[in-house]
Structure 1
């Protein structure tokens, strides 16, 4: 990606919302962008699997996991589904696991941290709704850009 978040902020300061620094990059793709799809859930990744099984079409899945550091919402199997189905990236307000394997995959994965414990499966959560964390509201079909310098969101494409 030649679209650097720093350059996009400089060129479109009035259009971007900058997420508070909190994420580590775990995926093999360290810079990515795409339209936003959202999930809101807590320590249950059933909906994550359903989302990543669907066509990604270059989108970024934003998962509001409530910031939980007690369970991993994405592991290598789910990340592999994301690669297979054309997702550009996943932003996890929570933890992932299998970080070494995910680091070798062609997908962007940002998360707060890692945790070895898998989630419970209750099929509880919401999809395609605005979610808020890091001082930013992520709205489905808006645009997200992520790289080594941070994560930014815009109502309209910046590229």
Structure 2
């Protein structure tokens, strides 16, 4: 059984299942960790800052407003996540360089891909509560993600 299936067997009442709107990228298919958040729109300056500074083992959750026009992450930012040993990344938006990212030992869930790079204005917020995919993503809550889905819990299970 997978991570999320086992968690649902033991802790079904303590988790919320995110709507299955995401595609998986990278060759790490299972990850879990505490949530760190970024809210941006078509601008990835704060995404890069978060990748460079959040604690090792964290899951960076990015609310990109569901935009599919500009990528919030490419292979260079995925390499930062890999180098810093982040658990994974969940993006309510798009990535680019999917072919390269799929060869990397990272776990990323995103809505899809686009070739366009992001805007670089540095606008957005870090460390705030986010709401998308029928789920609330609070900094410090826990994410469990694998091929079966993405679960969110208030604390580590």
Higher helix content, 1 or 2: 2
- Whether these two folds match at TM > 0.5 is yes
Alignment partners' CA distance in 2, 1:55 and 1:22: 25
- Per-residue CA deviation, residues 96-131 of structure 1 (Å, 9 max, x unaligned), is 000111111111100010000001100000000110
Alignment partners' CA distance in 2, 1:37 and 1:103: 23
Alignment partners' CA distance in 2, 1:55 and 1:123: 17
Runs of 4+ with deviation above 2 angstroms: none
CA contact (8 A) 1:34 1:58 kept: yes
RMSD of aligned alpha carbons: 1.1
The alignment partner of 2:13 has SS state of: coil
Count of residue correspondences: 157
CA contact (8 A) 2:36 2:54 kept: no
5+ long unaligned stretches in structure 2: none
The alignment partner of 1:28 has SS state of: coil
The alignment partner of 2:12 has SS state of: coil
CA contact (8 A) 1:63 1:91 kept: yes
Deviation at 1:55, TM superposition (A): 4.7
Alignment partners' CA distance in 1, 2:67 and 2:132: 12
Aligned position for 1:34: 33
